């Protein structure tokens, strides 16, 4: 009986592309008393693996927290696997604003001590005694009340790229740090203020609302379904969005746009930008904001030191990081002396800060995802997911100075004039028309299986990127 993944991320991505079927990105959570989390985990894996459902899921005695990617044709069958459990009957699925077939490439279900680490050891704290849930219209109305204090219970790197106007945004790296900071800051307002909170999908502020009720706050409210559900409701009901910018998400997309406003800067040059990236150096993987120009110049790296390391032979790179912890265990997310334009995350004052980020809009995005044209509308994601494509091959190299990509053709033919798509977790989905190409070093109008093809690409291409031909 299979209880673990048997395919690599690359193999799974290729199968998804070959299937050519629409997948939905969604999230959900539920607080409940689960007697045997290990058995619960195994039962879910068997049911979801059969439906080709992928994602990152945590289960614990206190409930379940899931971010997933499910084939659209299997969504009803997926719901049925949830309805088996009383505490998940009728559960709300937060469907993403933007879908990406590669949002998750594995099914990972882990048993944890808690589904949301809170640092609390208070046996009298009842997580089910939550605050009042507010829908988008009610949330907008209470934000207009001068008697309201609104708090963002996400981390600094999330709120930096998008937040509700006027919200307090604790300068923290973890949810557990937020609770004592806000509790101390608002001690004098337990009786006289509306304490309104929000997070990405609702799971963190649901626990926070129960915590603050436990601490004696009288008027505690939370945004139902978080920012994800809010975005859906304001679009359906034609409401004003009081959230500005982008909503950070914990999958390969690293964000989905709620409004066209850009409220943050590239951490390297200061240009208006709200695209997160992970440093290309495997001994770093720092999460930071990087514009396209810096991405090309720095080859996806956070510093010249990391850039130099990525150019070393692989054996030397491995040697340099041997015995060292990597990723966010080395650097804090978005906090490094190498980042000149990171305006939050001062570790010296972090534990005392519960500040308000600026609501100033630095730029607006255009339909092509840039920041050139004010007031332009974002591309409708429903148009993107209808694109029919076939996999041609994969990226082999990118020549930064020449802005030329090298690809190996593994399936079907490629011809000059074809409309192509270059896609990857960091690159996103980039469409272009192939005007001219070199095939095995010679200019040609057609490439066959096994050929090496080079052509001009005005954006950074990575080894994880795939090359597709658009069929419609």
Which residues are known catalytic residues? Answer: 199
Alpha helices per DSSP H over 311-398: 314-321, 381-384
What is the spatial distance between Cα 195 and Cα 204, in angstroms, rounded to a whole number? 15
Residues 6 or more apart whose CB falls under 8 angstroms from that of 50 comprise none
Residues 6 or more apart whose CB falls under 8 angstroms from that of 38 comprise 111
Burial class of residue 330, CB neighbours in 10 A (0-12, 13-18, 19+): middle
Dihedral of alpha carbons 223, 228, 229, 231, sign: positive
What is the spatial distance between Cα 365 and Cα 377, in angstroms, rounded to a whole number? 8
- If DSSP codes are grouped into helix, strand and coil, which group holds residue 190? coil
Contact assessment for residue 227 and residue 247, using Cβ atoms and an 8 Å cutoff: yes
Alpha helices per DSSP H over 36-174: 37-49, 75-83, 136-143, 156-159
Residues 6 or more apart whose CB falls under 8 angstroms from that of 90 comprise none
């Amino acid at each position: 009986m299979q209880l673990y993944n048997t395919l690599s991320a690359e193999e799974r991505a290729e199968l998804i592309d070959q299937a050519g079927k629409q997948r939905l990105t969604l999230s959900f959570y539920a607080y409940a008393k689960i007697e045997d989390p290990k058995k619960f985990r195994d039962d879910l894996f068997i049911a979801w693996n059969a439906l080709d459902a992928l994602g990152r899921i945590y289960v614990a005695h206190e409930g379940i927290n899931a971010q997933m990617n499910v084939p659209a044709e299997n969504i009803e069958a997926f719901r049925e696997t949830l309805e088996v459990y009383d505490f998940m009957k009728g559960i709300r699925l937060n469907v993403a604003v933007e879908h990406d077939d590669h949002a998750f490439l594995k099914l990972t279900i882990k048993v944890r001590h808690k589904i949301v680490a809170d640092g609390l050891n208070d046996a009298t704290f009842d997580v089910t005694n939550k605050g009042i849930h507010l829908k988008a219209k009610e949330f907008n109305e209470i934000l207009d009340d001068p008697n309201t204090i609104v708090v963002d219970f996400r981390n600094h790197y999330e709120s930096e790229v998008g937040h509700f106007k006027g919200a307090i945004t604790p300068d923290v790296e973890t949810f557990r740090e937020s609770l004592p900071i806000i509790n101390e800051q608002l001690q004098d307002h337990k009786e006289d203020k509306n304490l309104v909170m929000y997070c990405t999908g609702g799971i963190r502020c649901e626990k926070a609302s129960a915590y603050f009720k436990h601490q004696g706050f009288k008027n505690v409210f939370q945004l139902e379904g978080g920012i994800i559900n809010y975005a859906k409701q304001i679009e359906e009901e034609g409401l004003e969005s009081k959230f500005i910018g982008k909503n950070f998400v914990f999958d390969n997309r690293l964000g989905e746009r709620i409004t066209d406003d850009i409220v943050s800067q590239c951490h390297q040059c200061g240009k208006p930008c709200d695209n997160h990236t992970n440093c290309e150096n495997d001994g770093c993987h720092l999460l930071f904001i990087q514009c396209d120009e810096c991405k090309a110049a720095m080859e996806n790296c956070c510093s010249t030191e990391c850039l130099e390391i990525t150019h070393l032979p692989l054996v030397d790179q491995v040697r340099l990081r041997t015995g060292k912890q990597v990723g966010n265990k080395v650097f804090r997310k978005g906090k490094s002396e190498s980042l000149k334009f990171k305006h939050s995350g001062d570790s010296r004052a972090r534990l005392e800060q519960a500040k308000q980020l600026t609501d100033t809009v630095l730029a607006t995005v255009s339909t092509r995802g840039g920041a050139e044209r004010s007031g332009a509308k974002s591309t409708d994601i429903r148009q993107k997911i209808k694109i029919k494509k076939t996999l041609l091959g994969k990226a082999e190299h990118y020549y930064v100075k020449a802005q030329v990509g090298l690809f190996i053709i593994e399936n079907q033919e490629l011809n000059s004039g074809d409309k192509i798509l270059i896609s990857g977790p960091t690159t996103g989905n980039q469409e272009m028309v192939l005007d001219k190409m070199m095939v095995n070093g010679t200019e040609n109008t057609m490439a066959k299986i096994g050929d090496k093809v080079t052509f001009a690409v005005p954006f950074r291409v990575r080894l994880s990127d795939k090359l597709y031909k658009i069929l419609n």
